[in-house]
């Protein structure tokens, strides 16, 4: 098989040290950034498009509570989310009307100031980690070797097969430890080079000091409130990526896959 060519060099671990280090640091950062981000969202659980947006302006998305019913409103669609969003019970049985529940936020109680501190500290680690990983992965050719897409991979039949393979348990199990297929390559490139940088750029675009220094950042998204909306949407695309990533790991060979991401594993992907 042509696809076996590169990853089978015996000395080469399945995952390089920088990839493994970054993977786990990044996983921790993203979890903390998501949960502290939800604390910040709870301070004003409404999203707008454009430069401005406050309580009397039209929000395209809002979480709220009325008559003891929690709801999520997207456009004109209103979904009852009592128990999860907008109206839920805390661990001591008290009804809370913050948008996201305590089990999803850092800290688990509402504190915008503390949520911001967690968020900005881990934003630095996340940003520096991503920058170093990108540079190192280009330098050691991880990106060029493992994520490069050959012309024949772009054939619709290959893309179609790859997508179908992701819905077949046997195919997912067989692919464990093999070179990445086209769907995996596109996903990893999309996450590493589009979604993750987008989180940083939209985050900076919300800063009033950045607006003075680099106004093009905010303009890129059509305003501060648009940047805030994109920040939120991109965060949930990352959650979606995480859920599919977990599902694929669990269906394939979760123990060996996790072990390989910790120790490196070997290129043959043998069961050992």
> Cβ closer to another protein: 162 or 218?
218
Q: Does 169 bind another protein (CB under 8 A)?
A: no
Instruction: Count CA atoms closer than 13 A to 120's CA, side-chain side.
Output: 8
- For another protein, the closer of residues 52 and 156 by Cβ is 52
Residue-by-residue DSSP string for 217-272: HHHHTTSHHHHHHHHHHHHHHHHHHHHHHHHHHHHS-HHHHHHHHHH---TT----
- If the CB atoms of residues 142 and 245 are measured against another protein, the closer one turns out to be 245
Among 24, 109, 139, 154, binds another protein (CB under 8 A): 109
Output the CA–CA distances (angstroms, integers) from residue 173 to 231, 247, 252, in the order listed.
34, 12, 4
Quickly count: other Cβ atoms within 10 Å of residue 159's Cβ. 15
- Name residues contacting another protein, limited to 40-59 (CB under 8 A): 40-41, 43-44, 46, 51-57
Task: Pick the piece of the chain touching another protein (CB under 8 A) from 82-90, 139-147, 167-175, 218-226.
Answer: 218-226
Sign of the C-alpha dihedral computed for residues 251, 255, 258 and 264 taken in this order: negative
Q: Out of 80, 89, 213, 263, which residue is the one contacting another protein (CB under 8 A)?
A: 213
Size of the site for another protein (CB under 8 A): 51
Out of 207, 222, 241, 248, point to the residue binding another protein (CB under 8 A): 207
Cis peptide before 174 (omega within 30 of 0): no
Residues that bind another protein (CB under 8 A): 31-32, 35, 40-41, 43-44, 46, 51-57, 103, 106-109, 111-114, 116-118, 120-121, 123-124, 204, 206-215, 218, 224-225, 228, 250, 254-255, 258-259
């Amino acid at each position: 098989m042509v696809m076996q060519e590169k990853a089978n060099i015996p000395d080469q671990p399945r995952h390089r040290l920088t990839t493994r280090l970054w993977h786990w640091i990044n996983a921790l950062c993203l979890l903390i950034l998501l949960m502290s981000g939800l604390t910040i969202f709870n301070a004003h659980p409404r999203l707008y498009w454009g430069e401005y947006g406050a309580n009397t302006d039209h929000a395209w998305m809002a979480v709220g509570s009325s008559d003891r019913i929690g709801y999520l409103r997207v456009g004109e669609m209103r979904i009852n989310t009592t128990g999860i969003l907008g109206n839920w019970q805390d661990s001591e049985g008290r009804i809370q009307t913050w948008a996201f529940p305590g089990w999803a936020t850092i800290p688990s109680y509402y504190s915008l100031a503390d949520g911001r501190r967690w968020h900005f500290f881990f934003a630095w680690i996340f940003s520096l980690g991503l920058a170093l990983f990108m540079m190192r992965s280009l330098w050691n050719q991880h990106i060029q070797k493992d994520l490069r897409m050959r012309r024949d991979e772009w054939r619709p039949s290959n893309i179609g097969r790859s997508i179908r393979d992701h819905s077949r348990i046997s195919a997912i199990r067989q692919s464990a430890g093999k070179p990445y297929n086209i769907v995996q390559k596109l996903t990893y490139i999309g996450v590493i080079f589009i979604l993750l940088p987008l989180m940083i750029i939209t985050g900076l675009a919300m800063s009033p000091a950045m607006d003075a220094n680099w106004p093009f950042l905010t303009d890129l998204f059509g305003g501060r409130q648009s940047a805030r909306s994109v920040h939120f949407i991109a965060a949930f695309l990352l959650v979606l990526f995480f859920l599919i990533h977990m599902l694929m790991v669990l269906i394939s060979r979760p123990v060996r896959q996790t072990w390989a991401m910790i120790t490196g594993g070997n290129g043959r992907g043998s069961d050992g």
